[in-house]
Structure 1
């Protein structure tokens, strides 16, 4: 029996999500406990999953030469697709290093540049990634910072006509669109207003996997509706980090004498609860159905 390789690029899993109208979590991860929580959750939910890491996280804590072999080892034992993606790669050096480390996917974020420069940079990275069997995510429009209220700046939103030209010229595999979300934590009590009509127009015009950045704090109603309108990848960082921190604080308060290893295990279990609930919410649970001897098959 041919061994199924589950360390994959994002391309195939996101096209399945696009075809079957659900979304895949892309979860930022900087250590072993997070990696285990993410992959074990995916296994238990029969769901594909994307592990994200940003250049800043790579340099500060989750070094690529450690993270890649660890995630590959965990993915080798998995029976659902696992991708490892460089999130918001802006510098050529960061992206090429990620590809050399054997990330399975990269994002080129040139959204802060003028349209033609974004196309030039994205085309170059897409060609490089495809030549190595990897997938490439790009961004058009600009998903800024929640603290600056960037998500409500309509000037940053993705233009539908530009998006068509951008995809045709760059050959990116999926596109992050700006429809009203922003990165980081929103001001207390704020739920962003999303431009769902624009999202529907983008989906119809592009007919490809679309990505929502800044999903943390957007609210369950917004997330569910975004998936229904065509989002196929949702980046989750702030919400999971916050959940893990709160679980750590509560565990220490309840059990002040807990050993360090048991503390890590408790936080890992709490992260799994959050991830599995999110997978059910966005429809990726049960998308990879198992047969006893042949491994997972797409339904």
Structure 2
């Protein structure tokens, strides 16, 4: 099976009440961990690459790693997607370079300029058989080169005009998720009976109104890592310093997937699993120096994390 677009994936996900995992990839071990999990659980998957990942690993290396994953996992559909494309030139480079899906993030522009930029990308992408994700609203937080000190919720009254005038194939909206591992400040949260910080709920009223205005249209959630506390603890117990790292509750993401959200982006959770595993390994084996020794368990924990997401959060296991 060759790389595919997300069109059929999203149709099935919308009808079936589940979401496709869109996992950010930066190196071989991350690609392997994700796709081995998806292959074993027969789950469709979106492998997404940011501008920062292209700068780090090189466009060609990443494309070839994903193409190798396709060869190794012929029974599952795989999309290669550009995450947060900042401009037309970056999107064009990815379209010309083998990606089957791109996101143009014009959310920092005015509404009119966002439409104009997104439409330009859509026209070029569709001429080349590539699908496009746009964005309305902004997410707070920092991840790679995407940074907003303060987020802004999507305005449902704008979505119909935006989709109609741009021709986008999916729409990322802002309902309270955010980028990075520090998604919520402690003062935004409450404490449950066990003293654990609980973040404010997502704005499902916005999602439901957007869905009412765009029936059948695939919605995307960015900044949707749950920041597993076992990996935060592992990092902190092995020389790290990540106080008050808080993510989006998984039960809220599962609910979103049962509505109109067809794509859920996950990046920080992968980083935490890899970093926590490697930090613990170094402490346990201070005499080891072969990268294969510590990257192997890191890859295994990424695989286990993705398996959990596919089965218990996204609901897309067995949907290939």
Cross-structure match for 2:274: 244
Aligned residues: 279
For the residue of structure 2 that corresponds to 1:150, the secondary structure is: coil
**Residues 181, 192 of structure 1: 8 Å contact kept:** no
User: Could you report, residue by residue, the CA deviation over 1:136-176 in whole angstroms, capped at 9, with x for unpaired residues?
Assistant: 0000111232797634xxxx211222101111111111100
**Residues 3, 78 of structure 2: 8 Å contact kept:** yes
Question: TM-score, structure 2 length as denominator?
Answer: 0.83
Cross-structure match for 1:214: 223
Give the one of 93, 99, 104 matched to 1:97.
93
The within-5 A match list for 1:119-198 is 119-145=115-141, 150-151=150-151, 156-185=152-181, 186=183, 187=185, 189=197, 191-198=199-206
Cross-structure match for 1:275: 306
Write the distance in 2 (CA, Å) between the matches of 1:129 and 1:252: 45
Write the distance in 2 (CA, Å) between the matches of 1:76 and 1:19: 28
Write the distance in 2 (CA, Å) between the matches of 1:190 and 1:97: 41
Cross-structure match for 1:264: 295
Cross-structure match for 1:296: none
Tell me how large the CA RMSD over aligned residues is: 1.7
Cross-structure match for 1:229: 259
**Residues 122, 138 of structure 1: 8 Å contact kept:** yes
Write the distance in 1 (CA, Å) between the matches of 2:87 and 2:284: 44
Pairing 1:74–2:55 present: no
For the residue of structure 2 that corresponds to 1:225, the secondary structure is: helix
Structure 1 stretch 42-51 or stretch 260-269: which is displaced more?
260-269
**Residues 20, 314 of structure 2: 8 Å contact kept:** yes
Pairing 1:202–2:221 present: no
Question: TM-score, structure 1 length as denominator?
Answer: 0.88
Shift in Å, 1:190: 5.7
Write the distance in 2 (CA, Å) between the matches of 1:45 and 1:248: 26
Write the distance in 1 (CA, Å) between the matches of 2:140 and 2:49: 18
Write the distance in 1 (CA, Å) between the matches of 2:101 and 2:201: 30
**Residues 14, 259 of structure 2: 8 Å contact kept:** no
Shift in Å, 1:69: 1.7
For the residue of structure 2 that corresponds to 1:240, the secondary structure is: helix
* Structure 2 gap segments, 5+ residues each: 187-196, 226-246
* Structure 1 gap segments, 5+ residues each: 289-299
Write the distance in 2 (CA, Å) between the matches of 1:62 and 1:13: 27
Write the distance in 2 (CA, Å) between the matches of 1:96 and 1:37: 29
Shift in Å, 1:53: 1.3
